[in-house]
Amino acid sequence: MSSPAPQEFAANPVRGRFNSAFFSVMGGYINWHMHQHKSTVFAGLPRSVVEIGSGVGANLRYLPVGAHLIAIEPNPYMHARLRHAARRYGVELEIRSVVGERIDLPDASTDAVISSLVLCTVEHPAAVLAEIRRILRPGGRFSFAEHVAAKPVSPTRWLQRILRRPWAWVFEGCSCERDLTDLIASAGFMSVDINPYRIHSPFVPFNAHIAGTAIA
Ligand SMILES: C[S@@+](CC[C@H](N)C(=O)[O-])C[C@H]1O[C@@H](n2cnc3c(N)ncnc32)[C@H](O)[C@@H]1O
């Protein structure tokens, strides 16, 4: 039996601060690898968007000018940098310090949900996908850019396996071993379009990616 979806995020003062600083410093580099795919899946977003796990604001640049973003971001150590980034990009920001498994928004209340590098980290990705589907209006769009398990029996997959424990410890629960393609495809969306791709970074376990959209 699967464990129930968590209601709270266990913030860690040391790793929380480290990850906030890490994504602030490395965000440009990571985004350089993902930019082409993000530009495609985040194109044409409406002015009002919900983002799961906004971190320090890697995706604010893809929102339309004057956008209103509801950021589902339970890690308090991300909030100051996220607010700073929102001011920089002219985004009206509303932070909700809740987990993606229990979003405090009504059913069918938004047209667009986005995420990047989050379904690897949340405790229950299936519960988060169910919440995304719940808050989207019929026809609404979930746009995502995530990293995933590499092809079976490949050197990258082997490294993902070997490094899984220290990686998850440093990056607050992040798993490089999730088959998010199947999970998103079977999450009950009306239609799903997923594009697998590979980046070439020295963080080898992180190099297998998907980007796509799912329509509620
Ligand atoms: C690897 S960071 C990615 C941040 C940002 N989206 C990016 O692309 O740089 C993962 C983010 O997910 C957040 N997160 C972790 N668990 C979560 C949960 N259960 N619900 C929502 N967000 C969560 C973390 O606080 C962190 O900001």
Model confidence pLDDT, tens digit, residues 8-41:
898 999 999 999 999 999 999 999 999 999 999 9
Amino acid at 146: E
For residue 1, pLDDT over 50 is answered with: no
Kindly tell me if the per-residue pLDDT of 3 is higher than 80.
no
Residue 156: name the closest of 207, 210, 211 by CA.
Answer: 207
Nearest CA to ligand 1 atom 22: 53
Tokens of 171: 């990056």
Q: Is 100 in the pocket of ligand 1 (CB under 6 A)?
A: yes
* Both structure tokens of 138: 């019929």
Mean pLDDT of 82-97: 98
Nearest to 206 by CA among 181, 184, 174, 169: 174
Q: How far is the CA of 117 from the centre of ligand 1 (A)?
A: 7
Q: Give the model's pLDDT for residue 33.
A: 97
- CA-CA distance, 190 to 133, in Å (whole number)? 10
Give pLDDT, residue 77. 97
Cα(115) to centroid(ligand 1), Å: 9
Determine the longest span between alpha carbons in the chain, in angstroms.
46
Q: How confident is the model at residue 70 (pLDDT cuts 50, 70, 90)?
A: very high
Does pLDDT of 103 surpass 80? yes
Pocket probe mutation, ligand 1, options 121, 144, 170, max atoms within 8 Å of Cβ: 121
Which pLDDT does position 2 carry in this prediction?
45
